[in-house]
A = this chain, B = another copy of it.
Amino acid sequence: MRVEIWSDIACPWCYVGKARFEKALRAFPHRDEVEVVHRSFELDPSRAKGDVEPVLAMLTRKYGMSEAQAQAGEDNLGAQAAAEGLRYRSTGRDHGNTFDLHRLLHLAKERGRQDELIGIFYRANFAEERSVFAEGKERLVELAVEAGLDAEEARGVLADPAAYADAVRADEREAAELGANGVPFFVLDRAYGVSGAQPAEVFTQALTRAWDERSAAKSVESVEPGDADACGPDGCAVS
């Protein structure tokens, strides 16, 4: 079974939701047959690459919150994160464009390191004092290397704005086609969708339902016209 998770590194509920999903997955009896793929979604795609802003300033400016409201929201997120065992700095974080992070996540997918890298990006953005947005490319290379990627390869992707750009946009187009206008957005076997950082129980229910469905209705429509040139237990067909 395959679970696709659309998310953004700048999305606190994605950070919390991933932990809740993983809690459900760890307890799921068929966890070894579940493959997780992370897909790109930008909450703030129009923000310029160098435009880095403190999170609280962004919240008050962009959504017209008072500073106290913005801080209360961050405190709530911090408490939700703590309940999942996650560190969360509710003051002092930066907000910025995440396109380059998504491009690196696609490189990591190709190299079998995506789950490692997204975990490291979340930790860096939500739990660490150093900004993932304000320190330039070498900070991202450092995190990519920590995930097991090759430094030169990561540098090459960051130096070429076209690298994996189409892959990021294809993910975002798919999210829109699937009706997602917010993240996290979980899709199980392209059959069931879960929106938001739901409690682990909801993910357990979704995993169970998708699994049962899969086992019950395993069939694919055959499209080949006639006899096949194939090999089986009785040898290979001779055409």
- The proximity string for A residues 62-84 relative to B, scoring 1 for CB distances below 8 Å and 0 otherwise, is 11000000001100110010000
Nearest CB of chain B from residue A195's CB, rounded to whole Å: 4
Query: Which of chain B's residues have a CB closer than 8 A to the CB of A239?
Result: 76, 80
Interfacial residues of chain A within 56-114, with CB under 8 A of chain B in the complex: 59, 62-63, 72-73, 76-77, 80, 109-113
Cβ A220 vs Cβ B11 within 8 A: no
- Which of A123-131, A132-140, A155-163, A196-204 is found at the contact surface with chain B? A196-204
Nearest CB of chain B from residue A5's CB, rounded to whole Å: 12
A166 at the interface (CB under 8 A from B): yes
Query: Which of chain B's residues have a CB closer than 8 A to the CB of A13?
Result: 229-231, 236-237
Cβ A234 vs Cβ B63 within 8 A: yes
Nearest CB of chain B from residue A112's CB, rounded to whole Å: 4
A183 at the interface (CB under 8 A from B): yes
Cβ A63 vs Cβ B224 within 8 A: no
Nearest CB of chain B from residue A237's CB, rounded to whole Å: 7
Query: Which of chain B's residues have a CB closer than 8 A to the CB of A229?
Result: 13, 16-17, 80, 196-198
Given contacts A32-B166, A170-B33, A189-B190, contact A197 B228 (CB under 8 A): yes
Cβ B219 vs Cβ A192 within 8 A: no
Cβ A193 vs Cβ B181 within 8 A: no
Per the bound structure, the CA–CA distance linking A72 and B185 in Å amounts to 55
A194 at the interface (CB under 8 A from B): yes
- The proximity string for A residues 12-32 relative to B, scoring 1 for CB distances below 8 Å and 0 otherwise, is 111011000000000000001
Cβ A222 vs Cβ B196 within 8 A: no
17 CB contacts below 8 A, A to B, read A8-B231, A17-B230, A43-B233, A72-B238, A77-B236, A80-B229, A174-B218, A182-B233, A185-B230, A189-B190, A190-B220, A195-B222, A195-B230, A196-B227, A196-B230, A197-B228, A202-B224
